[in-house]
Chains A and B, each alone.
Chain A
């Protein structure tokens, strides 16, 4: 079965600093990969997705992610974090024809 690991439960960064959130997946074929963000009291919002092609994908809110097949990773990055980026971030992999398998999430705290 597919699985997604987000090894960091909590991450704290200062505003303006760079950010990298880790995501590792286990999947036999080329995966469909996603990053979602959940702000307090909100549903999940899609930041970006990878299906094929260029391994560096750009998303909304200045986020990007890089697919590395050799490392089974799909890490999320942002060059300069804003206080409004404080939220919980979920990595997901598509399984079969319609299911998403989600990681346990990384909660980001941003220091002023």
Chain B
């Protein structure tokens, strides 16, 4: 079956522009995560969605970052007024249900470059 897909695979933008990154989780997976992977860093948790519950936004680094998940499926991560330090690979993951014992399946990521 299809895995987690993300689009675009690469995004180059100019400082100050807004960008939208898309994630399509595995069908039937209720939990969805966004991570940021910067050069030389591990994966940094950004936000977590579970079903219709309020998302855990505790990892978002600033109010320029926001995310939504429509219909419990597709998610969009939006970065407003991008800065050079936002350059990173943004990874999306989904799992069948909530709980750390449920394997997270990762998409290939979106590489964002802010010039």
Contacts and interface: CB of A to CB of B under 8 A. Distances in A.
Contacts of A44: 43, 91, 93, 106
A40 to B, nearest CB: 11
Interface stretch (B12-20, B67-75, B78-86, B97-105): B97-105
- Number of chain A interface residues as a range: 20 to 34
Contacts of A46: 103-104
Interface in B47-100: 48, 50, 56, 91, 93, 98-100
Contact of B109 (A32, A43, A90, A99): A43
A32 B45 contact: no
- Number of chain B interface residues as a range: 20 to 34
A109 to B, nearest CB: 16
B50 A49 contact: no
A75 interface: no
Nearest to A99: B45
Interface stretch (A66-74, A78-86, A100-108): A100-108
A105 B42 contact: yes
A97 to B, nearest CB: 6
A100 B35 CA distance: 10
A14 interface: no
A65 to B, nearest CB: 15
Contacts of B42: 4, 90, 102-105
Interface string A39-57: 0011111100101000000
Interface of A: 4, 9, 32, 36, 41-46, 49, 51, 90, 92, 94-105
Given A98-B98, A103-B42, 7 more contacts: A9-B40, A46-B103, A46-B104, A98-B100, A99-B100, A100-B100, A105-B42
The 6 nearest A-B residue pairs measured at CB: A94-B100, A43-B106, A102-B42, A102-B43, A44-B106, A104-B42
Interface of B: 3-4, 31, 35, 40-43, 45, 48, 50, 56, 91, 93, 98-101, 103-109
